């Protein structure tokens, strides 16, 4: 099974931790001041703080501002690179160019963002170590 990835807005990180972590029973993954990941039945969901719905819907992840509302897939490393090549071959624009973030840290991952024709943001990730998906 290839896990999916979905990011969504929250207004309080500790309330999200209690709901998803304690009530639903999801293991807490990596987190930063403005986001928290959960192991949602072997899928990765990322809850990002967005206390002002009128603000630009972005969230800081590492050193990047990423679209807060997005979904995507976690792909095997070779498949991730093949998709990059296919998108570049079609001259499809990247919202965030392919890169490796959290290099040398738990959760090191390749990532990039694109938008579909309707403007929906998608993130495609890959972990050289698949166990890194929920590592912290």
Q: What is the pLDDT of residue 118?
A: 64
Q: Are 115 and 95 contacting, i.e. CB atoms less than 8 angstroms apart?
A: yes
| Pair 112, 94: CB distance under 8 Å | yes
Q: What is the mean pLDDT of the chain?
A: 84
Domain boundaries, the chain: 4-133
Give mean pLDDT in consecutive 10-residue pieces for the chain, a chain of 136 residues.
82 89 88 91 86 69 75 86 92 93 85 80 83 69
- pLDDT of 53 reads 62
Task: Check residue 2 and report its DSSP letter.
Answer: P
Look up the pTM and report it. 0.66
pLDDT at 59: 72
Share of the chain above pLDDT 70, in %: 89
* CATH code, residues 4-133: 3.10.180.10
Sign of the torsion angle spanned by Cα atoms 50, 29, 126, 62: positive
């Amino acid at each position: 099974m290839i896990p999916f990835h979905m990011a969504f807005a929250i207004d309080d990180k500790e309330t999200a931790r209690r709901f998803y972590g304690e009530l639903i029973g999801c293991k807490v993954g990596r987190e930063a001041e403005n986001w928290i990941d959960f192991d949602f039945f072997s899928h990765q969901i990322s809850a990002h703080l967005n206390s002002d719905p009128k603000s630009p819907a972005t969230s800081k992840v590492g050193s990047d501002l990423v679209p807060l509302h997005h979904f995507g897939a976690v792909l095997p490393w070779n498949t991730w690179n093949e998709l990059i090549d296919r998108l570049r071959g079609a001259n499809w624009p990247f919202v965030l160019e392919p890169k490796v973030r959290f290099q040398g840290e738990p959760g090191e991952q390749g990532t990039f963002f694109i938008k579909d024709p309707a403007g929906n943001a998608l993130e495609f990730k890959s972990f050289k170590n698949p166990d890194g998906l929920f590592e912290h």
